[in-house]
Amino acid sequence: MSNNVEIVTVDASNVEQHGFFCFKSKPKSEGYRRKLAWLEQRFAEGLRIKILYEGKRSIGFIEYIPGEYTWRAVKAKDYVVIHCLWVVGSGKDKGYGSRLLNECLEAARKSDQHGVAMVTSERVWLAGKKLFLKNGFEEVDQAPPSFGLLVKRFDDAPLPAFPTNWTERASRYGDGLTIIRSDQCPYIDDAVKIIGDGVGKRNIPFRVVELKSAQEAQELSPSAYGLFGVVYNGQLLSYHYLGQKDLLKLLPD
C-alpha cells in the first residue's frame, strides 16, 4: 500500500473544497448542485463523507449516516447505515475499501451505536457483499430483486431489517409510469432525463415523484435502494439507471 495516503473527513466546513467524490468533474451540473444542497441539510443529521486520497488524487470514498436518517428503505435505529462505498481505478486491490470501512466502524463505536449496516447488491449501483463479509459483517435480511442487508453488530441489540411490503409499495403508484427520485446521488438527475426522453419516444406519459426526506425514502421507496425507482402499472421495473434501449425493452410496444 502506498504511504502517501490520506483520508479526509468531509463536512459542512470543507465540502466546497473537497466535493463529495462523485461528479467531481462536473461541479456546475444540475446533479452536482442538487447533491450539494442535499448534503447541506444532511450534515446536521450526522451524515459524514470520508474521501481517500492517494497523493493528490481522490480514488475512493464512503458516505454514512445514523440509521434514523438513512435514505435506504431499511429499519436501522441506533445503527450507522452506509449509503455508498466506492474505490475506483488504480485504488482497487490495495485494501482501501477496508480502510474506509474501518473509519466508519470506528465512528459508529465512538458514537455508541449498536453497529453498522449496508444495503448491498450483486447487480449495479451498490457495493457487493464480498468486502463486508471479509470485514466481519453478516447477511441478516434480503429484499427483492437482489438486495442483501449486511450488518456488523457490536452488541446483542435487535438487528436491522428490511420492510416486507414491496408489492404494496409499488402498487401505490398506480397505472402508467412513475419515476421515484431523490437528490442523494448526483447521477439520478441524468437518469431521470434519459428515462423521460425514452418514454417520450413511445408517447408514454410519466410523472416524477421526489422523495424529500429520509422518512419518505424509508416508507415510500418501491425498493430497498431507497433513492430511485421506475414503476410501471404498479410494478417495479428498475431501481437503477437505465439506458433508453434497456428501458424500452421493458415497456410494451
Note whether residue 201 is domain-resident: yes
Pair 174, 136 in one domain = no
Lowest mean pLDDT among 4-8, 38-42, 167-171, 240-244: 240-244
Provide the pLDDT for residue 247: 84
Q: Could you tell me the pLDDT band of residue 126, with boundaries at 50, 70 and 90?
A: very high
Pair 148, 124 in one domain = yes
Pair 175, 115 in one domain = no
| Nearest Cα to Cα of residue 211 among 190, 237, 183 | 183
Cα dist. 124→49, 146, 174, 237 in Å?
A: 21, 10, 26, 14
Pair 176, 138 in one domain = no
Note whether residue 160 is domain-resident: no
Provide the pLDDT for residue 177: 94
Provide the pLDDT for residue 1: 46
Lowest mean pLDDT among 121-125, 207-211, 233-237: 121-125
Lowest mean pLDDT among 27-41, 109-123, 143-157, 192-206: 192-206
Which domain-ending residue is among 153, 178, 213?
Answer: 153
What is the span of the domain harbouring residue 93? Answer: 5-153
In the block, residue with C-alpha cell 455508498? 84
Note whether residue 140 is domain-resident: yes
- The predicted model gives 120-133 an average pLDDT of 93
Helix (H) or strand (E) holding 241: none
Pair 177, 210 in one domain = yes
Cα dist. 232→42, 133, 206, 208 in Å?
A: 31, 35, 9, 12
* Contact present, 43 and 65 (Cβ < 8 Å): no
Which domain-ending residue is among 121, 153, 185?
Answer: 153
Provide the pLDDT for residue 203: 87
Pair 147, 187 in one domain = no
Which domain-ending residue is among 122, 153, 184?
Answer: 153
Pair 39, 144 in one domain = yes
* Contact present, 160 and 117 (Cβ < 8 Å): yes
Q: Does the structure show a pLDDT above 70 at 3?
A: no
| Nearest Cα to Cα of residue 227 among 235, 193, 238 | 238
Q: Does the structure show a pLDDT above 90 at 199?
A: no
Q: Does the structure show a pLDDT above 80 at 18?
A: yes
Pair 138, 188 in one domain = no
Structural domains in the chain (count)? 2
Pair 132, 182 in one domain = no
Please state whether beta strands 147-153 and 48-54 pair in parallel, antiparallel, or not at all (unpaired).
unpaired
Q: Does the structure show a pLDDT above 80 at 113?
A: yes
The CB-based long-range contact list for 91-97 (8 Å cut-off, 24+ gap) reads: 91/52, 91/54, 91/59, 91/60, 94/1, 94/2, 95/1, 96/1, 96/5, 96/52, 96/54, 96/59, 96/60, 97/60, 97/131
CATH number where 130 lies? 3.40.630.30
Pair 13, 118 in one domain = yes
pTM reported for the whole predicted model: 0.95
Provide the pLDDT for residue 246: 87
Q: Indicate if the alpha-carbon torsion angle 205, 227, 183, 44 is positive or negative.
A: positive
Structure-block grid coordinates of residue 8: 479526509
Pair 47, 89 in one domain = yes
CATH number where 186 lies? 3.40.30.10
Provide the pLDDT for residue 2: 52
Q: What percent of the chain is modeled with pLDDT above 90?
A: 85
